[in-house]
Structure 1
Amino acid sequence: MRTFSILFVCMGNICRSPTAHGVFLHKVKALGLEDRIRVDSAGTHNYHPDSPPDARSQQHASRRGYDLSALRARQIIDADFEAHDLILVMDWDNLALAQDQSDPRHHTKIRRLTEFCERHDSPVVPDPYYGGERGFEHVLDLVEDACDGLLKQVRQRLDPLP
């Protein structure tokens, strides 16, 4: 049975990428596809090793029904580029850093998460870390939209599905 693996990447792996990880995993589980779609997240920097997601990210995600509490920050490693089918970054800096770190043969796997948005038109998921509550809500709006579009495309790649 074909499986598909996705890695979400931001800078520190405490706000945007764990939010995307939690939202996408929630959607995958709701469809009963957790045995076919693997989900992980990492940061381009090792600022917060083994830390839980930012409390504000957890709080805003929880209000929408997503539990991020089990996730822990880690830095992206060379093996990630081999292990994952798709590496989705949150912004242009993440894209450049991931491409710099990876072998050129993996560059086609590295894309911006917002490329999958269906309703929002944003080139990036902006970092909410230094902003207020509206920033975290905006991240969730973009992530939910992108995850819906992403899930449609991944399901087509996994066809036939139950």
Structure 2
Amino acid sequence: MNKQVSVLFVCMGNICRSPTAEAVFRHYVESAGLSESILIDSAGTHDYHIGHAPDQRSQQAAEQRGYDMSGLRGRQVETLDFERFDYVLAMDKANLAILHYLAPRGCKKQVGLFLEFSRYHSEREVPDPYYGGTQGFECVLDMVEDAAQGLLQHIRSNELT
């Protein structure tokens, strides 16, 4: 399998939702033996946390489920990301609108909502847990795990065949 597919997860600050999605999806991709075939990254639409580690609450919730976020650092989306990544997936509609604004004219990449790949959640936006309690981070993980499995299934069926 020589083809490589690339996925970028995007939220506002790149310290809660998108690094959680990156870590969870990377775990599933590694478990499936597809690390050489799927490139994964995350970024934020805003520059609030460039170079910062993910939020401690996100890291702790992820670690309790077996996901490692310790090596991740925040970065901001850049125009080149629309060339580098096949899938640019936003956590909510506000960040999706920013991505559509930033995308070069005629961009053929799949820019959309991550939860479009969800199999069991009817919501289409991952809520920002930053200002809430620990339950919000657990909810984010539930949604991200579901959508990550759906995304992996989609990529295996449509991109790597």
**How does the TM-score come out when normalised to structure 1?**
0.96
Aligned position for 1:24:
25
CA distance in 2, matches of 1:109, 1:93: 17
Query: Superposition RMSD on alpha carbons, in Å?
Result: 1.0
CA distance in 2, matches of 1:124, 1:29: 26
CA distance in 2, matches of 1:84, 1:108: 7
CA distance in 2, matches of 1:108, 1:22: 22
Give the 5 Å matches for 1:97-108: 97-106=98-107, 108=109
For the 8 Å contact 2:15–2:55, the answer to whether it is kept is yes
Question: Which secondary structure does the structure 2 equivalent of 1:66 belong to?
Answer: coil
Aligned position for 1:142:
143
Instruction: Report how many residues are paired.
Output: 160
Asked if 1:51 corresponds to 2:52, the answer is: yes
* Cα distance, 1:158 vs structure 2: 3.6
* Cα distance, 1:108 vs structure 2: 5.0
| Structure 2 spans left out of the alignment, 5+ residues | none
Asked if 1:2 corresponds to 2:42, the answer is: no
* Cα distance, 1:105 vs structure 2: 1.9
For the 8 Å contact 1:16–1:90, the answer to whether it is kept is yes
For the 8 Å contact 1:14–1:73, the answer to whether it is kept is yes
Identity rate of aligned residues, in percent?
51
Give structure 1 regions of 4+ aligned residues with deviation exceeding 4 angstroms: none
For the 8 Å contact 2:88–2:109, the answer to whether it is kept is no
| Structure 1 spans left out of the alignment, 5+ residues | none
Question: Which secondary structure does the structure 1 equivalent of 2:66 belong to?
Answer: coil
For the 8 Å contact 1:48–1:74, the answer to whether it is kept is yes
Which of the pair is proportionally richer in helix?
1
Tell me which amino acid in the other structure corresponds to 1:60.
Answer: A
* Cα distance, 1:159 vs structure 2: 3.4
